[in-house]
């Protein structure tokens, strides 16, 4: 069916599907941490996702082991994209309100465009700048009621900022690197290696015995298949097509997150959220225009 749609249309559809699955991670995580520590929950997620992805790659892709240079690149990507980003993000959420955490997701496109423009010399068009501004404005409208009643520590905000910088650098690093490994293999190795790097932090910060309940089991399962397997592979595909345009779909993640939270967790969906969605969609439209 996608073959009948223009490449631009396919890119937008894949981006929206990515944003929907990616944004569902926050809801699944909120449900899972009710019965399991956050870092431990994500530790199980990464190990299981890495094993499943590499198993799929072994049977359905042209399997080969990465060479030394590729292992080094995968280790850097996994450390930035998994270990540093998510470890700090989880630690930050303990000290920063959820509204500020959602707002931080919108910093991804801005940070990616700054890195791409200043460091890599990429050309940034006016429509991209305007789209970024409208996207940030839309997310601000959506989280404004949460920000009014939120709290944060300086340490938590620093964790959050470094985590989003790490995620943005990882996205640029992946898009600029020439990869010869299949996409599922790349995703599997970076998730598994990132999880291994994360293990010492998880064990050091563990406060209670590991207990897997039915709730945490289904939370891990959702975080593994729709999020780590499907959405991350879509994200890698979008990055290789156009990293700057792909970054605009991160604007949709907090909006979809609010929608899922409203229906699943009964959190409020206000006119601020609706107004924010309008601004985000218009910013996304401008960002996708040639």
132 vs 171, more confident: 171
- Number of structural domains, the chain? 1
Within-domain flag for 180: yes
The structure's pTM equals: 0.78
Beta-ladder partners of 152: 96
Domain that holds residue 161: 22-288
Three-class SS of residue 54?
helix
Within-domain flag for 2: no
Q: How far apart are the first and last CA of the chain?
A: 24
Within-domain flag for 144: yes
pLDDT at residue number 237: 86
Task: Determine what percent of the chain is predicted with pLDDT higher than 90.
Answer: 18
Q: Please say if the pLDDT value at position 26 is more than 80.
A: no
290 vs 190, more confident: 190
Return all residues near 98 (Cβ < 8 A) that are at least 6 apart.
146, 150
Helix axis angle, 232-241 relative to 183-205, nearest 10°? 120
| Among the ranges given (75-84, 148-157, 233-242, 266-275), the one the predictor scored with the smallest mean pLDDT | 148-157
Within-domain flag for 73: yes
pLDDT at residue number 150: 59
pLDDT at residue number 189: 95
Query: For 5, what's the count of Cα atoms within 13 Å in the CB-facing half-sphere?
Result: 10
Q: What six digits make up the tokens of 251?
A: 């604007």
Instruction: Check: CB of residue 32 under 8 Å from CB of residue 264.
Output: no
Within-domain flag for 176: yes
Environment class of 119 (CB within 10 Å of its CB; exposed 0-12, middle 13-18, buried 19+): exposed
Q: What six digits make up the tokens of 202?
A: 């998880």
**Can you tell me the distance from the alpha carbon of 117 to that of 123, in angstroms, rounded to the nearest whole number?**
6
pLDDT at residue number 2: 55
Within-domain flag for 15: no
Instruction: Check: CB of residue 189 under 8 Å from CB of residue 54.
Output: yes
Tell how far CA 3 is from the center of its chain.
Answer: 27
pLDDT at residue number 110: 65
Within-domain flag for 6: no
Within-domain flag for 12: no
Three-class SS of residue 83?
helix
């Amino acid at each position: 069916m996608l073959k009948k749609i223009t490449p631009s249309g396919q890119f937008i559809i894949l981006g929206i599907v990515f944003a929907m699955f990616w944004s569902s991670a926050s809801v699944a995580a909120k449900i899972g941490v009710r019965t399991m520590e956050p870092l431990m929950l994500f530790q199980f997620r990464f190990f299981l996702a890495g094993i499943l992805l590499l198993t799929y790659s072994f049977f359905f892709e042209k399997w080969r082991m990465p060479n030394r240079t590729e292992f080094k690149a995968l280790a850097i990507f996994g450390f930035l994209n998994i270990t540093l980003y998510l470890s700090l993000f989880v630690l930050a959420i303990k000290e920063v309100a959820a509204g500020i955490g959602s707002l931080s997701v919108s910093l991804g496109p801005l940070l990616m465009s700054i890195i791409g423009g200043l460091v890599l010399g990429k050309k940034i068009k006016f429509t991209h700048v305007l789209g970024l501004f409208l996207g940030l404005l839309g997310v601000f409208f959506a989280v404004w009621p949460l920000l009014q009643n939120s709290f944060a520590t300086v340490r938590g905000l620093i964790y959050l900022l470094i985590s989003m910088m790490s995620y943005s650098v990882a996205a640029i690093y992946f898009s600029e690197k020439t990869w010869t490994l299949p996409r599922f293999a790349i995703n599997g190795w970076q998730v598994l290696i990132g999880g291994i790097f994360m293990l010492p932090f998880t064990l050091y910060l563990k406060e209670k015995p590991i207990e897997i309940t039915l709730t945490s089991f289904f939370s891990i399962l959702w975080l593994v298949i729709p999020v780590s397997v499907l959405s991350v592979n879509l994200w890698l595909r979008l990055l290789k097509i156009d990293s700057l345009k792909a970054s605009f779909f991160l604007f949709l993640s907090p909006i979809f997150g609010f929608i899922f939270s409203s229906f699943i967790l009964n959190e409020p969906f206000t006119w601020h959220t609706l107004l924010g969605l309008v601004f985000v969609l218009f910013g996304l439209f401008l960002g996708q225009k040639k």
